[in-house]
Structure 1
Amino acid sequence: MQALLSLDMITLFVATFCGLGCSLTAVDNLGQIGESLGYPQHTIGTFVSLVSVWNYFGRVFAGFISEIIYNKWKVPRPVIMMLSLVVSGVGDLLIAFPAPGSVYVASLLIGFSFGAQLTLLFIIISELFGLKYYSTLFNCGQLASPLGSYILNVLVVGRLYDVEATRQLAARGLTRSAAKELTCIGRRCYRTSFSILAGVNALGALVLLVLVVRTREYYQGDIYKRYRDQMAENEKGIALSNAGIDEPVNVKDRK
């Protein structure tokens, strides 16, 4: 409970709400986005494939490349997560103000950012709070993702899409009852909603800046020392056990 209610976890929760919530919302609406902009079905399928492929590269970058960056320059992991939210925000703006082929780039950026954020969430929680209650802390932190997806997808993007589709019906002299389902065509369908998503990503990046400041000294040190000490202690215990010697228990160290 101390970890769950700490400022660091609350900051991560808000950033995850903003970042992963926006990314999931964009992925869920990718088909309708392509349809509203007049892309053919095979092209829309390409968008979905790009998200999946770059989601993988985002995970690799967040896990492997971020480790290299940290070891060489001591760049805190929250900084990389903050940059991934900025990348996602750029993708949202490319959808809000589309140009020919911009959705291809947006799919790439959003997919990459989505994968990077998810992996960085795993890593940051383990580094800041340890592994003793890792599964509980991670799953509680990840609750922000579906919560953000629901609020941003249903209450923001979905409603604004319906408003624009209803306006287009009225412009054609039709009422809501005359249409089986609301379909919006044109660049304005997602302009307002994805501009909001870009702003939410920017908010998440600013929130992460708080975590960057709070953990700066921690990441400047040796964050793996406690794990090496624990491994050395375990190896010592195993060696003593194999030799038939009982290891003396230091209550303070065990705690």
Structure 2
Amino acid sequence: MIGANSQTFTNTGALVTCVKNFPESRGIVIGLLKGFVGLSGAIITQLFHAIYGNNGKSLVLLIAWLPPFVCCTLLKYVRVMKGVNRQENEVKIFYQLLYISLGLAGFLLMVTILQNRVAFTLVEYRLSSCVLLLLLFAPIVVVIREELRIGKNRKQVLDDFTPLKGLEQGKLPSRSQGKEVLWFKNVFKPPERGEDYTILQALLSIDMLILFITTIFGAGGTLTAIDNIGQIGKALGYPNTSIATFTSLVSIWGYLGRVASGFVSEIFLTKYKVPRPLMLTFVLLLSCFGHILIAMGVPSVLDVALAILGFCFGAMAPLIFSIISELFGLKHYATLLNFGGAASPIGAYVFNVRLVGHFYDKEALRQMEALGLFRKPGDHLTCIGIECYRSSFLIIAAASFVGCIVSYILVLRTRKFYKGDIYKKFREQA
């Protein structure tokens, strides 16, 4: 339980901090960070082989010491920067980080496919890990270069700066404090969209309910497909090497979905005023086709279906987390972010355990009875054929379509909000 929930601590600390530091590029920031999360499994796998070889027990040890070491080392630098204005080339720097991450993803994809076909030696693992670390730390070079440029410009501005009389004497104008309102007085009287909601105001709002239902139906279904890659591949007769390749490809497609939805949604929002919930609706609609392709059971299109679902699952997270920050403000974003994220495992439980698991076991037992076999206590059920998953994924496809409709309701509710300048207050504060 502690291990499974540890990711939310790191996620909250890094993601919330970056969104508050770059509020006008939040979609891009969330897409980048979530993209690196999608690559983290492949990164840790490569480092494990380079350090410990193929010792399975040592993998648990690596997972135990590496993340805490990184967090403790970088703890001082992950913080909200007060009073920092938006840089004119901010988006350009994010694109440079995107290109580096694309190079890292491409390298991981190439190495993973090679390793599934050719047995790597310890030396080859270590050489590939050296290249991996160079790509992983390359963004630091971009950031240091930019910080040096900003520092040089700031020094020049300060040299030419003449302080105002009031500021020179330390006479900063004070802002009057309004009368504090008890927390339970305004629970059902939320502010305008985009302002800072209290936690209860957000959790009890119709917008949050719509987002929560959308995430359960959408992300829950795609996560179920990803969790069952191994069993789906075996049911359709794929060899283990192909199944391993499918798993790697889904991870890469998930990464592409995260960065694409973050960058593209930010461009469409700022340039064309396209509501972010509308883009979430399109992603949900696309996922329906992926589920239907799996239900069809055509072996040649399984990789296409998994690529679609991996992309959609990755694309949902930046969109949902960005929408939460835009509708309910950033004051309690850390809490609201994790509340929205809790919908995904709930959906996975409903679809994976109660739906897919039930139909899989039922079909497996039917096949055993047809062969005259009887299940003994402790026997592992194995199901062969698309019948193991057809009914389940048709239901999941229908559920995703319902999520698509629910998401479009949010589009209608927020279209006026997204037509305005949602980042105006951040520029005024700066």
Shorter-chain TM-score bucket reads 0.7 to 0.9
C-alpha separation in 2, matches of 1:179 and 1:142: 35
> Alpha-carbon deviations, 1:167-203, whole Å to 9, x = none?
1111111222288211100111100001111111111
Match of 1:170, SS state, is: helix
Alignment of 1:130 onto 2:329: yes
1:80 Cα offset (Å): 0.7
SS at match of 1:81: helix
Which of 361, 369, 375 is 1:170 aligned to? 369
Q: Please, which runs of 5 or more residues in structure 2 have no aligned partner?
A: 1-199
Q: CA offsets, 1:197-225, max 9 Å, x none?
A: 11111111010011000000111111111
Match of 1:9 among 205, 208, 218: 208
Task: Output the aligned Cα RMSD.
Answer: 1.2
Provide the TM-score with structure 1 as the length reference: 0.88
Q: 1:196-207 to 2 correspondence within 5 Å?
A: 196-207=395-406
Alignment match, 1:29:
228
The 2-side partners of 1:147 and 1:103 are apart by: 26
Q: What is the alpha-carbon distance in structure 1 between the residues aligned to residue 306 and residue 262 of structure 2?
A: 21
Give the conservation status (yes or no) of the 8 Å contact 2:236–2:299.
no
Higher relative contact order (CA 8 A, sep 6+): 1
8 Å CA contact retained: 1:47, 1:103:
no
Point out the structure with max Rg over C-alpha. 2
2:235, 2:388 within 8 Å by CA — same for their partners in 1?
Answer: yes
Quick one: distance in 2 between partners of 1:178 and 1:142?
37
Q: Which residue of 1 aligns with 2:379?
A: 180
Once the two structures are superposed, the pairs formed by residues 61-210 of structure 1 within 5 Å of their partners are 61-177=260-376, 180-210=379-409
Report Cα offsets for 1:65-101 as digits up to 9, x if no partner: 1111222321110011111111111111111112132
CA distance in 2, matches of 1:71, 1:136: 26
Q: Distance in 2 between matches of 1:24 and 1:131?
A: 27
Deviations 1:124-155 (A, max 9, x none): 00111110000101111111111111111000
**Structure 1 gaps, min length 5:** 232-255
**Bigger Cα displacement from structure 2, 65-74 vs 4-13:** 65-74
- Equivalent residue number for residue 418 of structure 2: 219
Report the Cα offset of residue 122 of structure 1. Answer: 1.2
Q: Deviations over 1:30-79 (max 9, x none)?
A: 10000000001111111111110011111111110111122232111001
Contact 2:321 / 2:340 at 8 angstroms: preserved in 1?
no
> Does the residue aligned with 1:101 lie in a helix, a strand or coil?
helix
1:44 to 235, 240, 243: 243
User: What is the distance in 2 between the residues matched to 1:55 and 1:111?
Assistant: 5
What's the TM-score, normalizing by structure 2? 0.53
CA distance in 2, matches of 1:109, 1:51: 9
Give the match's secondary structure for 2:203. Answer: coil
Quote the Cα distance in structure 1 between the aligned partners of 2:363 and 2:273. 47
Query: What is the distance in 2 between the residues matched to 1:15 and 1:230?
Result: 33
CA distance in 1, matches of 2:300, 2:261: 27
Q: Does 1:53 align with 2:232?
A: no
Alpha-carbon contact 1:11-1:211 (below 8 Å) kept: yes
The size of the alignment, in residue pairs, is 231
SS in 1 for 2:263: helix
> Counterparts of 2:427 and 2:216 in 1: how far apart (Å)?
33
